[in-house]
Structure 1
Amino acid sequence: MKELIARSLKYQQGVVSVLDQYLLPHQEVWHECRTVAEMAELILTLKVRGAPLIGLAATLLVAYLAEQGADKAALAQAIDELEATRPTAVNLMHCMGKLRGALQATDFASQVVATAEMLFEEDIALCERMANLGAELVKQGDNILTHCNTGALATAGIGTALGVIHQAHAAGKDIHVWVDETRPLLQGGRLTAYELACWDIPYTLICDNMAASLMAAGKVDKIFVGADRIAANGDFANKVGTYNLAVLAKHHNIPFYVVAPVTTLDVVCPNGKAIPIEERNPLEVTGVSGSFGSCQWAPQNAKVFNPAFDVTPAELVMGWVLDTGVYDQHAVAQGALLHVS
């Protein structure tokens, strides 16, 4: 396999390596990964995160195993095990489906490798197209609110929603970004703030529950978020807290956009009610841990509900920014997402 290098994932000198996003922004630690168990652990503990990146990291690991001489049965098992790690993010299923197709070839090992290279490079191109299309929606001086992390850390390319922000800034639109901290795991506070600082894009970090007052004060012009799965009718799952923003945006008449590649579309899924929602470890809510240390603030036996995602209904979305174009309410209601390719 040729060398493939992104901000937080790379295949170099015959080794798959991932940047530990759990330790950012204070430590940049890379993990070499050679087994399915190692990659599964990295994904489950959010050292590897971001819907597109999860799919690509799993893909590179399978391609690495193919290069090491794993037989067809072993590769099929690896695909199944990796696909099961995160049930909501459809990008992972998309990538694993492509690899299953490659396994049907006589020269399956070389086809798996070629497929991995294609998916990696495709993601870079998809991100570029989304960013350029979305940046056209941004006006000079816009104050943009975003949630979770959707930048280069979460993809092979420049990102999804944060990629739009990057391109708007690069075009000289003098924007400012409100960054939701994104509880309980603080992907906004740790990762989005980190990326915006690296890109010299002006931003202000806020607690998630400050968004409503900002909107009421007229300090938010647009909202751009990412997605982990978009259903055929336009409903979409994203990091928990996104639905809150969509409801608030509707009330305050603020344009609300979701930005995602076609690999995030699940046209077999009819609507948001059919999207499986992953529930994570209660310890993520009863306290916090990371490169900064750990702390538990809740009672030891506190009962916790910790869904990783929520579902935003299509009726709350002004536009779906895909790499194939920007789709409005009318287009999506007419089934446009079913025909995107």
Structure 2
Amino acid sequence: MQEKEQDNKVIREQIQKLEEDIGSVEVQGATNVALATLEGMRLAAQLKTENLLEEVETVGYSLSHTRDNEPLARNAVRFVLSSIKGNNVLAEILSSIEEFKVILDQAKSKIKEYAVEELDQYEVILTHCHSSTSTQALIALARRKPSLKIVATETRPLYQGRRTAKELVKAGVDVTMIVDSASASFIVDDRYLPVGAVVIGCDEIHKGGAVVNKVGSYQIALAAKQGNDKLYVLTTLLKLDPKTQEALPSIEMRPAREVWEQAPEDLNIINPAFEIIPAKLVTGYITEAGVLSANELEKALYEKYSWTD
């Protein structure tokens, strides 16, 4: 009995660490949050308990709701639970977790393929924050088009743009970094580099086509519109979760210390993690089903992934 309790305690501590890492943004990006959620469910499946399915479902729900704007993680949980038929619960949980990872890899591969074809017409592309899908697509595009130049924002306050820049530079891509507050003028004013398109990922798609992405994205989208440049969102359809979208997405608020760790005591700091970019500012959504318009997203989701309906 003591051995069983000790084993369960170790597993729960590992799950708790995952939740803390998601909440602190140690785990960054929608894909990584989804993978961490699946890992938590895999760990929960190892618990010695009579209510295994209930435990796995509880852990999946908790991890996928640690941060507000994580529909990809919620869809991962939905897929796993919908795949369980009750014949061999443990085996079904573990196999469906691995199956979802394959689905995600295939989706990202198709997005990269469509992105390379669509973005080949541009010489200079600006990107904001860090999106593993966008970064991989830009690297693939640069290999096909060595003259490609990328402008990357630093992405304050956590500087996720530095991660993007490092990955691109490591892959041999020509990258220029700018501060976030310069992004709008950089897009509109071609005296620096003639930006032709903006590429971003996203954390959530609203069923009306509005996109939730890193704070700073809205001003970039407006600048792209003003400068007659194109704005593309590279995203899997699985970041759309119509079942939870009766109103506009909520926006996660981050701790003030991320902006200024030793700020004056009476200073108020508002630190939203994300912004909402209206669908009317988006040129196209580059997805695993192709380059889509806002009104095509929900139908494409149900056709591609019937279990989401």
Normalising by structure 2, report the TM-score.
0.86
Q: Distance in 1 between matches of 2:84 and 2:17?
A: 22
Deviates more, 1:212-221 or 1:243-252: 212-221
2:36 pairs with one of 18, 34, 57: 57
2:137 pairs with one of 164, 178, 194: 164
Q: Distance in 1 between matches of 2:13 and 2:84?
A: 20
- The aligned counterpart of 1:121 is 102
- The aligned counterpart of 1:74 is 55
Q: Distance in 2 between matches of 1:232 and 1:326?
A: 16
Q: By how many angstroms is 1:121 displaced?
A: 1.6
Distance change >3 Å, CA 301–CA 109, structure 1 → 2: farther
Distance change >3 Å, CA 77–CA 188, structure 1 → 2: same
Q: Distance in 2 between matches of 1:141 and 1:318?
A: 14
Q: Which runs of 5+ in 1 are unaligned?
A: 1-31, 152-159, 288-295
Larger Rg: 2
- The aligned counterpart of 1:105 is 86
Q: How does 1:19-30 map to 2 (within 5 A)?
A: none
Q: How does 1:305-316 map to 2 (within 5 A)?
A: 305-316=270-281
Amino acid at match of 2:297: L
Amino acid at match of 1:220: V
Look up the SS of the partner of 1:38 in the other structure.
helix
Q: Is the 8 A contact 2:128 2:200 kept in 1?
A: yes
Amino acid at match of 1:113: L
Look up the SS of the partner of 1:277 in the other structure.
coil
- The aligned counterpart of 1:274 is 248
Identity across matched positions, percent: 26
2:155 pairs with one of 156, 167, 182: 182
Q: How many residues align?
A: 286
Q: Distance in 2 between matches of 1:188 and 1:50?
A: 12
Q: Is the 8 A contact 2:209 2:279 kept in 1?
A: yes
Look up the SS of the partner of 2:232 in the other structure.
strand
Q: By how many angstroms is 1:266 displaced?
A: 2.3
1:94 pairs with one of 71, 75, 94: 75
Q: Distance in 1 between matches of 2:180 and 2:237?
A: 28
Distance change >3 Å, CA 72–CA 268, structure 1 → 2: closer
Amino acid at match of 1:48: V
Look up the SS of the partner of 1:274 in the other structure.
coil
Q: Is the 8 A contact 1:33 1:39 kept in 2?
A: no
Higher strand share: 1
Q: Distance in 2 between matches of 1:236 and 1:105?
A: 37
Q: Is the 8 A contact 1:140 1:174 kept in 2?
A: no
| RMSD (CA atoms) | 2.0
1:194 pairs with one of 166, 174, 183: 166
Q: Is the 8 A contact 1:91 1:263 kept in 2?
A: yes
Q: Distance in 1 between matches of 2:69 and 2:245?
A: 15
Q: Is the 8 A contact 1:141 1:176 kept in 2?
A: no
Q: Is the 8 A contact 1:233 1:314 kept in 2?
A: yes
Distance change >3 Å, CA 196–CA 318, structure 1 → 2: same
- The aligned counterpart of 2:291 is 326
Q: By how many angstroms is 1:69 displaced?
A: 4.2
Q: Which runs of 5+ in 2 are unaligned?
A: 1-10, 305-309
2:208 pairs with one of 221, 233, 241: 233
Q: Distance in 1 between matches of 2:177 and 2:244?
A: 35
- The aligned counterpart of 2:7 is none
Q: By how many angstroms is 1:300 displaced?
A: 3.1
Q: Distance in 1 between matches of 2:161 and 2:197?
A: 17
Q: By how many angstroms is 1:68 displaced?
A: 4.9
Normalising by structure 1, report the TM-score.
0.79
Q: Is the 8 A contact 2:201 2:235 kept in 1?
A: yes
- The aligned counterpart of 1:22 is none
Q: How does 1:139-154 map to 2 (within 5 A)?
A: 139=120, 142-151=123-132
Q: Is the 8 A contact 2:212 2:275 kept in 1?
A: yes
Amino acid at match of 2:20: E
Amino acid at match of 2:299: H
Amino acid at match of 1:39: L
